[in-house]
């Protein structure tokens, strides 16, 4: 199980626990009321049962995939909206009740708004994780196409074949750039351990020491963060015997 999936699972558990607390607090208040509030109590019990069923899915030992976690996340959002609707009903029925009761509901509402904001942030982060995984899967295909173009040009193939492959790579590049992918500058640059991975060294005099003299495999940044370092050959100085 990847760290991102573990984090997503933990976040969903925490959200469900917060919902348990909210439902329990709201339910205790409703118990003191009569008439219309008795129906809301039954609906809150239904939400509680659904939360228990959803949490049980997360606590099972079997591995949960990304799609299943997304479905659970959607279900939790629906339960959050239902709980908010019940809170509003209770607020409407509570007009003229004790101030402590109203303050409790306002506190719960503020808590709900806070984890709604956290939920939105989690959704954005999870979306970036999905896109990043897709890009990493796509990069080897892009690499292979670029290598194929290079071989094709060397062996004097059909001009149409080369142009077709170049057009495909161009479309892939435009798609990736639109999503936030940028190629790491490497050739001619000084070696940067955060962006470059040394796979070869060569003794040369015309380049500064530790300068990148050849890119063996391109590296990329995704929205400003390194997702694949560039594999490079760097220049070194000949070591004199002491």
Fold type of domain 183-236: Nucleotide Exchange Factor Grpe; Chain A, domain 2 (2.30.22)
The tens digit of pLDDT for each residue in 50-88 reads 778 777 777 775 676 777 778 777 778 887 888 888 777
* Annotated domain spans of the chain: 3-131, 133-180, 183-236
Looking at per-residue pLDDT, the higher value among 171 and 40 belongs to 171
Contacts of 37 (CB under 8 A, 6+ apart): 30, 90, 93
What region, left, alpha or beta, does residue 145 occupy, with left being phi > 0 and alpha being psi -120 to 50 degrees? alpha
Q: Could you report the per-residue pLDDT of 151-170, keeping only the tens digit for each?
A: 777 766 566 677 777 787 88
The whole-number pLDDT of residue 120 equals 76
pTM listed for this prediction: 0.42
Name the pLDDT band for 36 (thresholds 50, 70, 90).
low
What pLDDT score was predicted for residue 242?
A: 47
Helix (H, G, I), strand (E, B) or coil at 225: strand
Average pLDDT in the 196-222 region? 90
33-53 mean pLDDT: 72
Query: Mean pLDDT across the chain, nearest whole number?
Result: 77
| % of the chain beyond a pLDDT of 70 | 78
Quick one: average pLDDT of 190-201? 92
pLDDT at 103 over 90: no
**pLDDT per position as a tens digit, 128-154:** 777 777 787 778 878 877 877 777 777
SS3 182: strand
Note the pLDDT of residue 27. Answer: 67
**Alpha helix ranges (H) inside the chain:** 3-30, 36-59, 66-93, 99-154, 159-179
**Mean predicted confidence (pLDDT) in 99-113:** 68
Contact 25/104 with Cβ under 8 angstroms?
yes
Taking alpha carbons only, the member of 227, 217, 223 closest to residue 194 is 227
Q: Is the pLDDT of residue 234 over 90?
A: yes
Residue 196 has a pLDDT of: 94
DSSP string for residues in 42-92? HHHHHHHHHHHHHHHHHHSSS---HHHHHHHHHHHHHHHHHHHHHHHHHHH
Q: Which of 239, 240, 235 is nearest to 205 (CA)?
A: 235
């Amino acid at each position: 199980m990847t760290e991102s999936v573990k984090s997503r699972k933990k976040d969903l558990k925490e959200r469900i626990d917060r919902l348990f607390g909210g439902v329990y607090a709201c339910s205790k208040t409703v118990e003191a009321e009569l008439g219309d509030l008795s129906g809301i109590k039954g609906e809150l019990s239904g939400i509680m049962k659904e939360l228990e069923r959803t949490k049980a899915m997360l606590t099972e030992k079997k591995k949960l995939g990304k799609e299943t976690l997304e479905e659970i996340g959607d279900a939790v959002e629906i339960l959050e909206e239902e709980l908010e609707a019940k809170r509003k009903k209770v607020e409407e029925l509570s007009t003229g009740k004790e101030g402590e009761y109203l303050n409790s509901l306002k506190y719960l509402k503020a808590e709900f708004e806070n984890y709604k904001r956290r939920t939105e942030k989690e959704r954005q982060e999870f979306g970036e994780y999905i896109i990043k995984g897709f890009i990493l899967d796509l990069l080897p295909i892009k690499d292979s196409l670029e290598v194929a173009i290079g071989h094709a040009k060397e062996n004097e193939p059909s001009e149409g074949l080369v142009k077709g492959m170049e057009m495909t790579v161009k479309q892939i590049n435009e798609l990736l750039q639109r999503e936030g992918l940028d190629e790491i500058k490497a050739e001619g640059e000084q070696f940067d351990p955060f962006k470059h991975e040394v796979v070869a060294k060569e003794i040369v005099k015309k380049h500064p020491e530790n300068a990148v003299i050849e890119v063996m495999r391109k590296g990329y940044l995704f929205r400003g963060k390194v997702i694949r370092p560039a594999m490079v050959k760097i220049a070194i100085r000949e070591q004199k015997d002491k």
